[in-house]
Chain A
Amino acid sequence: MSELLIMKDYPVLSVLLWMILAMVVMYLARSQVHQAIRAVSRVLANAMRLAAYAVHMGEQRLNRRNKEVLLAEGAKEVEREVKREFYRIEAVVQRDLQGYPTLHRNMSDLITRIDEDYRQSTETPPSPPAWLDAVETVTKLPDSGDKMVAGILSEVHKTINRQHKHTMSEFRKQSSARHRLLKKMAPFWRKLSQTVEDVGKTITGLHERAALIDRRMADYEAILANSDRMERRLSSSSMTQLFIAGLVLLIAIGGAVINFNLIALPMSEMVGGGSYIGPLKTSNVAAMVIILVEVVMGLFLMESLRITRLFPIIGMLDDKMRRRMIWISFAILLTLASIESALAFMRDRIATDIEALRQTLAGVEAVQGRQSWIPMVGQMVLGFVLPFALTFVAIPLESFIHSARTVLGVFVAGVLRVVAVILRLIGNIALYLGNVVISFYDLLIFPLLWLDEKIFSGRRPKAKATLMEEVKQ
């Protein structure tokens, strides 16, 4: 260090001299250094800006792709929904309106019968007897006090009374028959009214379904028109779906863990408890495989039933093959559920035996109390039911996979956006940092710059202008 001192006896002076020398060198190299600093900062800024642009482009491409996927999924969903509604309408039409000719005939028959009954029930006044005029003539004969005439008249009176009673009796009979007919008509009226009401309900149901289809078709058109509103709606729906499906999957994983604990111990009775596959016990692997096979069979069952659409090839199978697949996967599931139930039974026995042994080893006399069968039955039922419950994992799994694609896409696009902003920020910082360094450089040699300005201020107006320009830049 001491070699660097120009005057060894005066270190301060030496340092001062070194500083002046450095300032002079820096002053002489000022222009070149400024250019170099500016070039480096610009290169950095441009590189960052380019990188930010590339990332931004990537983000835009990803956004476009996300939108395409989202809208395609949405379109597929709406198509499926509309198709389902049409199937329902077809079912309603087949169920209710296919029998319309029969219904129409029934209604016509009912109306004809009602009409006939109505006609039969109309009231017809009894016709007056033909000899009524003769009686009237006789009654108008002058009373001559003749006993014979009085006798005839008395007989006529009796006859008329008798005839009146007979006519009234007939009239009552006919009225009664008419009332009977009208009474018979009532159920037919009610039936007719009910039938008309049913048809009305069917028509109303169809009308509601048609309105729903209209709404979904409007959505479909919006999707086909690449509407931003639909994109936002579908995206929000995907996030909700992901959350719900994730929650259900977590619950299902909990079920699978319980299932695993139920069969892991008894599996060691079957495959041995001392062997390992890699770092895992063979019995644990076997138990896990059984559970996974159950989940896979559940997936196949759901696919075959066309509830989920994870494997299009299964959905495209012909109905006969699909039905066969349903039965095969169900049979395997049933077998596995029975095996699990048996394993749960075995687990209870082994656990009891181990507990008894531990008590003996601990010097405690094993209590030979009456053992409850409830836990054992509970475990067996659980072992049988859980495989079927796991079958339904296919539904949230499908939702999770589909919505995860969208949500992941949105997330990656967000990350890219942040990266682009950061790159741009770094670029700007580099650019302004260059200016700061230049200013600091000038600050270090400010005495020489001050002298320069004093001496050459009048002579180099252009140079000064250039300098100011540079500083501004």
Chain B
Amino acid sequence: MKKLIPVLWVLGVLLAGCVDTTSRSRAVYMLMDTSGTYAAELEKARAIVNYLLGTLQPGDSLAVARIDTGSFSEKDIINKVTFDGRPSRSNEQKRVFRQAIDDFIHSVKRSPYTDITGGVLQAVEYLNETGAGKKTVLIFSDMEEELAKGFVRDFPIQISGIRVVALNVTKLRQDIIDPRKYMSRLEQWEKRVETGGGTWQVINDLERLDRIL
């Protein structure tokens, strides 16, 4: 019996290692602004998607959705995938994904409104469903929300454990006239995200994409 104790102890440690349920996969949800002022920037979005496809590993998840008038909808998801564990299959999935994004960018129609909050809510829903250990929402937009009449978005959003990264936040004409508007817009979003339990980051220099993940 005495000899069995160390053996059982080692087995216990090994089993503890095996039942470690911490997920180490990553999930990224990218929102692309297709509103009138921002649709011209979509070529940059393609580069970001390509970077994500090259960086994400088997087992990770990626979804790309558009921001339009009502973004809180599955219909706005352009493509979503959880990469297969096998590298060969995963590579194939990445090729298909890239093609889907290319097709979307070629055929995109400008939307009259920009429902960023709806998109973020949809992203949170998707990311939580993936069960990934590291969840990121990328918002490729100028962060100027324009809602259609009747849309209600002025409520706190719950995004605990999710990192929100605003990419390529371009300065609008009124921002150039009064930069406080730009700063106030970003501060407002930062406050909203952090109040909801998430973390906020802004990356405007697309040469530093390695900081996204």
Q: Is the CB of B54 within 8 A of A273?
A: no
Q: Which residues of B contact A278 (CB under 8 A)?
A: 17-18, 20
**Given A268-B58, A274-B57, A275-B59, is A361 in contact with B87 using a C-beta cutoff of 8 Å?**
no
Q: Is the CB of B86 within 8 A of A273?
A: yes
Q: Is the CB of A272 within 8 A of B59?
A: yes
Would you call A269 an interface residue if the criterion is a C-beta within 8 Å of the partner chain's C-beta atoms?
yes
Q: Is the CB of B53 within 8 A of A274?
A: no
Q: Is the CB of A273 within 8 A of B95?
A: no
Q: Is the CB of A272 within 8 A of B86?
A: yes
Closest to B18 in A: A277
**Given A272-B58, A273-B90, A274-B59, is A362 in contact with B50 using a C-beta cutoff of 8 Å?**
yes
**Given A357-B94, A357-B95, A360-B98, is A272 in contact with B85 using a C-beta cutoff of 8 Å?**
yes
Q: Which residues of B contact A360 (CB under 8 A)?
A: 95, 98
B 23-55 binary contact with A (CB < 8 Å = 1; else 0): 011000000000000000000000000110110
A 248-279 binary contact with B (CB < 8 Å = 1; else 0): 00000000000000000100110111111111
**9 tightest CB-CB pairs across the interface, nearest first?**
A274-B59, A272-B85, A273-B58, A278-B17, A361-B50, A274-B85, A361-B54, A278-B20, A274-B58
Partner of A269, one of B50, B87, B95: B87
Please, how many angstroms separate the alpha-carbon atoms of A47 and B191 in the complex?
66
A-B contact pairs, 6 of them (CB 8 A): A268-B87, A274-B25, A274-B59, A278-B17, A278-B18, A361-B54
Would you call A199 an interface residue if the criterion is a C-beta within 8 Å of the partner chain's C-beta atoms?
no
Q: Is the CB of B87 within 8 A of A354?
A: yes
Please, how many angstroms separate the alpha-carbon atoms of A349 and B91 in the complex?
12
Q: Which residues of B contact A271 (CB under 8 A)?
A: 85
Considering the complex, which residues of chain A in the window 313-340 have a beta carbon less than 8 Å from any beta carbon of chain B? none
Closest to A280 in B: B17
Q: Which residues of B contact A221 (CB under 8 A)?
A: none
Q: Is the CB of A268 within 8 A of B54?
A: no
Would you call A358 an interface residue if the criterion is a C-beta within 8 Å of the partner chain's C-beta atoms?
yes
| Count of B interface residues, CB-CB < 8 Å | 24
Q: Which residues of B contact A279 (CB under 8 A)?
A: 20, 24
Would you call A353 an interface residue if the criterion is a C-beta within 8 Å of the partner chain's C-beta atoms?
yes
Q: Is the CB of B20 within 8 A of A273?
A: no
Partner of A350, one of B53, B59, B88, B98: B88
Q: Is the CB of B85 within 8 A of A354?
A: no
Which of B18, B53, B58, B83 has most chain A Cβ within 10 Å? Answer: B58
Q: Which residues of B contact A361 (CB under 8 A)?
A: 50-51, 53-54, 94, 98
B 57-85 binary contact with A (CB < 8 Å = 1; else 0): 11110000000000000000000000101
Q: Is the CB of A273 within 8 A of B85?
A: yes
Please, how many angstroms separate the alpha-carbon atoms of A354 and B55 in the complex?
11
Partner of B85, one of A265, A268, A357, A358: A268
Q: Which residues of A contact B18 (CB under 8 A)?
A: 277-278
Expressed in whole angstroms, the minimum distance between the Cβ of B117 and any Cβ of chain A is 31
Please, how many angstroms separate the alpha-carbon atoms of A416 and B167 in the complex?
63
Expressed in whole angstroms, the minimum distance between the Cβ of A451 and any Cβ of chain B is 75
Q: Which residues of A contact B90 (CB under 8 A)?
A: 273
**Given A278-B17, A354-B91, is A273 in contact with B57 using a C-beta cutoff of 8 Å?**
yes
Q: Which residues of A contact B54 (CB under 8 A)?
A: 357-358, 361-362
A 353-385 binary contact with B (CB < 8 Å = 1; else 0): 110011011110000000000000000000000
Please, how many angstroms separate the alpha-carbon atoms of A160 and B181 in the complex?
157
Closest to A285 in B: B17
Q: Which residues of B contact A265 (CB under 8 A)?
A: 87
Partner of B83, one of A274, A276, A349, A363: A274
Please, how many angstroms separate the alpha-carbon atoms of A361 and B91 in the complex?
11
Extra 8 A-B pairs, beta carbons < 8 Å, given A357-B95, A361-B94: A265-B87, A268-B85, A273-B57, A273-B85, A274-B83, A276-B20, A276-B22, A358-B54
Please, how many angstroms separate the alpha-carbon atoms of A432 and B50 in the complex?
77
Please, how many angstroms separate the alpha-carbon atoms of A360 and B102 in the complex?
12
Q: Is the CB of A274 within 8 A of B20?
A: no
Q: Which residues of A contact B51 (CB under 8 A)?
A: 361
Q: Which residues of B contact A275 (CB under 8 A)?
A: 59, 85
Q: Which residues of A contact B20 (CB under 8 A)?
A: 276-279
Closest to B86 in A: A269
Q: Is the CB of A273 within 8 A of B87?
A: yes
**Given A268-B58, A273-B58, A358-B54, is A350 in contact with B83 using a C-beta cutoff of 8 Å?**
no
Please, how many angstroms separate the alpha-carbon atoms of A248 and B94 in the complex?
44
Please, how many angstroms separate the alpha-carbon atoms of A275 and B23 in the complex?
9
Please, how many angstroms separate the alpha-carbon atoms of A357 and B57 in the complex?
13
Please, how many angstroms separate the alpha-carbon atoms of A273 and B90 in the complex?
10
Q: Is the CB of B60 within 8 A of A274?
A: yes
Please, how many angstroms separate the alpha-carbon atoms of A354 and B88 in the complex?
8
Q: Which residues of A contact B98 (CB under 8 A)?
A: 360-361
Q: Which residues of B contact A357 (CB under 8 A)?
A: 53-54, 91, 94-95
Expressed in whole angstroms, the minimum distance between the Cβ of A29 and any Cβ of chain B is 60
Q: Is the CB of A276 within 8 A of B85?
A: no
Please, how many angstroms separate the alpha-carbon atoms of A274 and B17 in the complex?
16
Expressed in whole angstroms, the minimum distance between the Cβ of B168 and any Cβ of chain A is 18
Please, how many angstroms separate the alpha-carbon atoms of A357 and B22 in the complex?
30
Q: Which residues of A contact B50 (CB under 8 A)?
A: 361-363
Please, how many angstroms separate the alpha-carbon atoms of A274 and B57 in the complex?
8
Q: Which residues of A contact B53 (CB under 8 A)?
A: 357, 361
Expressed in whole angstroms, the minimum distance between the Cβ of B71 and any Cβ of chain A is 26
Expressed in whole angstroms, the minimum distance between the Cβ of B20 and any Cβ of chain A is 5
A 453-469 binary contact with B (CB < 8 Å = 1; else 0): 00000000000000000
Please, how many angstroms separate the alpha-carbon atoms of A271 and B50 in the complex?
27
Expressed in whole angstroms, the minimum distance between the Cβ of A13 and any Cβ of chain B is 68
Expressed in whole angstroms, the minimum distance between the Cβ of A286 and any Cβ of chain B is 12
Expressed in whole angstroms, the minimum distance between the Cβ of A106 and any Cβ of chain B is 64
Considering the complex, which residues of chain B in the window 76-114 have a beta carbon less than 8 Å from any beta carbon of chain A? 83, 85-88, 90-91, 94-95, 98
